[in-house]
Amino acid sequence: MKKLRIATFNVNSVRSRMPVLERWLPASGVDLLCLQETKVVDAEFPAAAFEAMGYTPLCCGEKSYNGVAIVARVPVDEVRFGFGDGEDPDFSTRVAFVRAAGVSILNTYVPQGKEIAHPDYALKKRFLDRVRAFMSREAKDGDHFAWVGDMNVAPTDIDVTHPEGKRDHVCCHSEIREKFEQVSRGLADMLRRFHPEEGTFTFFDYRVKNALDRNIGWRIDHILATPALEKRVVDCFVDKEPRSWEKPSDHAPVIADLEI
């Protein structure tokens, strides 16, 4: 039985976040980190800084927007970017799949969708359908599999401050919640299992004054596990500390401890 600590973190630019990451990651105990919104082409990804901390980065990014990466200090057996299902776009800068240390992890940055009437919202729903199809292909019964990342869905009313004003929001609308529920059916919400209390958030808008201290936020970053993996998860929590530092991401990392 080995311990494995995994995490998901939307960094909102990996280059701007290196001071936070260099303070947080070495002390975090995280073995395998899933990043979203790296916002950088692969040639300019700060690989050396991660290597200096003892981690190997595997990235797929683009200029200005999106970008995902797997950062691991355990041997990685396989990594793939994009859905690889033949559909266009492939979303290689929003989808990463990794096998390492006896687990499989799908790391996604789900499109936010802008507004219900916007074409990006239809793209978001299609993205979630493709996640379901990907998992049907890649996650077999009994697999130690997790779907993690910035899902841009607050699954229930307690996952957002002031839900009554957000009925038509692309992250809260009943339709997207139903879609997310359908796509994630059979997977267990690890953060909710260990933190069922209200006010458990992973995103705190920069524009809301003292959002962190007032705990005005959203729970949109998730770690979801198959039944086989769920049995191996011994803890899951939000690490809000790096959100309180200088030049923070607007998201906080979500950490899960596994015994594999």
Judged by the rule CB under 7 A, the positions of this chain that interact with DNA are 10, 12-13, 15-17, 37, 39-40, 63-65, 111-112, 114, 120, 150, 152, 161-162, 165, 171, 203, 205-208, 216, 218, 220, 247, 250
Residue 215 beta carbon to DNA: minimum distance, rounded to whole angstroms: 10
Residue 236 beta carbon to DNA: minimum distance, rounded to whole angstroms: 20
Nearer to DNA, 56 or 112 (CB): 112
36 DSSP β-pair partners: 10, 68
Check the CA dihedral 177-59-236-162 and report its sign.
negative
Nearer to DNA, 78 or 164 (CB): 164
Residue 96 is inside which H or E element, if any?
A: strand 95-100
The angle formed by the CA atoms of residues 20, 242 and 32, to the nearest 5 degrees, is 75
Residue 163 beta carbon to DNA: minimum distance, rounded to whole angstroms: 10
Instruction: Tell me how far apart the alpha carbons of residues 94 and 40 are, in angstroms, rounded to a whole number.
Output: 13
Check the CA dihedral 170-252-199-31 and report its sign.
positive
Residue 71 beta carbon to DNA: minimum distance, rounded to whole angstroms: 17
Nearer to DNA, 214 or 231 (CB): 214
Q: Which two tokens stand for residue 56?
A: 């190997």
Residue 131 DSSP class? H
Cβ pair 79, 67 in contact under 8 A: no
Nearer to DNA, 13 or 56 (CB): 13
Nearer to DNA, 32 or 176 (CB): 176
Phi (first) and psi of residue 65, to 5 degrees: -125, 160
Nearer to DNA, 49 or 228 (CB): 49
From residue 87, alpha-carbon distances to 7, 56, 61, 90, 123 in Å are: 29, 30, 19, 6, 12
Residue 109 beta carbon to DNA: minimum distance, rounded to whole angstroms: 7
Residue 8 beta carbon to DNA: minimum distance, rounded to whole angstroms: 13
Residue 182 region by backbone torsions, left for phi larger than 0, else alpha for psi between -120 and 50, else beta: alpha
